[in-house]
Amino acid sequence: MEHIYEYEFNGYKATVIQPEQPNGKWIWKTEFLYAFDQAEIELVKKGYTRVYYQISDMYGNYQSIRLMHTFYLHVIEKFNLDKKCVLFGFSRGGLYAFNYAVYYPETVDKIYLDAPVLDLTDWPNPNHAPKEYNEMLDSYNLTVETLKTFKDTPIYNLDEFFRLGIPMLLVAGDSDDVVHFGNNSEKVIAYCKEHGIPIFPLYKQVAEKDCGKLNPRKLSYEFREYCPNHQLKDLRHTFTTRARECGIDNELVAVWTGHSLGNITSSVYTHFSIEFQQEQAKKLVYI
């Protein structure tokens, strides 16, 4: 059974998820801890510890990297973790993961980037994410004009990063209309091809028509426009609470919300029939 530790460190929320028998290896997700976390759930089963430090309003600036390193020194000692981690930069988390690896390469074993933001002139976009755009400018002490010539952003520091020899796994979607492939991931791939650098890109070629014109990333941003104090993933916590208040089986709630089951017996031997799930769903008299 995994153990979840949530606490405050230097004024920011920290989350550490450890398996029953941790092996010292750990994956540090720099943003959106529970988003698309199927791979991380499987790694926990193999003994990995999941780590998250929520400094979402700094966009990978120097102050955030210093905060990350202070947290790094704390977390490896407190939880007996290896000195090198696997950095996971998802979306805007790519800014943190890339910049941290450049500043503190001795602490990074590998880096995994999934649809990463690597160019601040591409995201945040002032038209689609004005709040984030203004936060980013403030965090880097930039103006609209100085941003145009600003070079301290990952896409301009590829030389420095790849000289470090840190293995990179890159996952990118060619139809991403928020973090544009051509302005971010594609530039990394082109750089590696030009310089003969091994990189392991995976392409998510998903057309909007294939998912009912539902773009999860776009939905997340639109949700934050209407609910600025919440993230889309917060709905999972609300749903879990309401479902349990309605008397729905706890293990079924875990299955519905994508959490791992609480013990080996449940995860191996429990399988819920469609009929049972339909009956349980009828208990949702309010959400």
* Whether pLDDT at 279 is above 80: no
Q: From CA 30, how far away is CA 230, in angstroms rounded? A: 18
Q: Which two tokens stand for residue 26?
A: 């750990």
Q: Which domain holds residue 281?
A: 233-287
Type of residue at 124: P
Same domain, 52 and 152: yes
Angle, vertex CA 235, rays to CA 231 and CA 240, nearest 5 = 145
Same domain, 191 and 262: no
Same domain, 82 and 194: yes
Give yes or no for a contact between 135 and 193, defined as CB atoms under 8 angstroms apart.
no
* Whether pLDDT at 264 is above 70: no
109-125 pLDDT per residue, tens: 999 999 999 999 999 98
Confidence (pTM)? 0.72
User: Is the four-CA dihedral 198, 61, 50, 26 of positive or negative sign?
Assistant: positive
Same domain, 194 and 110: yes
pLDDT at 267 (0 to 100): 40
Q: From CA 97, how far away is CA 88, in angstroms rounded? A: 7
CA dihedral 62, 227, 245, 263 (to 10 degrees): -30
Number of domains in the chain: 2
Q: Which of these ranges, 31-40, 231-240, 243-252, has the smallest mean pLDDT? A: 231-240
